[in-house]
Amino acid sequence: MEFTPFYEKKIECLHCKKSFSTLKVRSKNFRVAKSDTDFQPIYDENQVNALYYNVFVCEHCGFSFTEDFSKYFSPGVSEEINNQISSKWNPHNFRGERTVFQAIEAYKLAFLCATLKKEKFIVTAGLLLRLAWLYRSLKDNEQEERFMKMSRDHYIESYSIEDYRSTQMSDVRVMYIIGELSRRIEDYSNATRFFSRVIETQRTGGEAKIIEMAKEQWNLMRATREHVDVKTESEA
């Protein structure tokens, strides 16, 4: 019997309520070697990228979602999803092994569904961030930066209305990711503002690891800006 790192999981669509199958990765078949500074998991070489399988795509109606989606649909939302997605859906499934391009398609579908469903900004921010990671793996800098900025903006919205409460994201982690994404897109004003807020939490016993990461990225940002200033002066 051929060994496979996947197992099949039955999912009930949040929208149409029909069942469909999707692949999930067995936990023993992927190991995160390290994380990038914006929390992107870096898997051991030759291991399955579990990120490809986070989105469930209903083969019947096209509604796409993750485990972070709420089950509640506000009045009129189901009709809007029917009009915008299901009525245009050409039934096909994502149940097999996914390429990075299929993963990108799945995340974009999930972002569209989340937007129509009016999911929390903390949910849409996470989808957009993962799209940035996928484009990073393709070395598509333009699309990576585009989705990092969109993600950063959604995290700012989430932070401003605190819709991340009751999720795994803490105040400190949300502030940090806003700062780090701002640094990466060279919005140094917001990067400075939010890294400062993270570092200030050490007075009240904030998350030590995240505070250290903020300090490291603050120093990296300062060194980068000083280098740019020196280069600009030498060219003047």
pLDDT tens for each residue of 146-189 = 999 999 999 999 999 999 998 999 999 999 999 999 999 999 99
Q: What is the pLDDT of residue 229?
A: 55
Q: Round to whole Å and give the CA distance between 218 and 180.
A: 9
Closest CA to 214 of 186, 187, 184, 177: 177
Nearest CA among 169, 181, 179 for reference residue 207? 169
- The tokens describing 153, both together, are 């903006």
**In the chain, helix, strand, coil percent, each to 5?**
55, 10, 35
Give backbone dihedrals phi and psi of 162, rounded to 5 degrees, phi first: 55, 40
pTM of the model: 0.92
Please tell me the least confidently modeled range out of 27-31, 142-146, 158-162, 221-225: 27-31
- Lowest model confidence (mean pLDDT) among 6-10, 26-30, 107-111, 123-127: 26-30
Helix (H) or strand (E) holding 187: none
Mean pLDDT of 214-236: 74
Helix axes 208-235, 171-184, angle to 10 degrees: 20
Nearest by Cα to 170 from 197, 207, 117:
207
pLDDT class of 47 with cuts at 50, 70, 90? confident
Whether the Cβ atoms of residue 181 and residue 197 lie closer than 8 Å to each other: no
> Per-residue pLDDT for 207 more than 60?
yes
Query: CA 133, 136, 141, 144: dihedral to nearest 10 degrees?
Result: -10
pLDDT value of position 1: 45
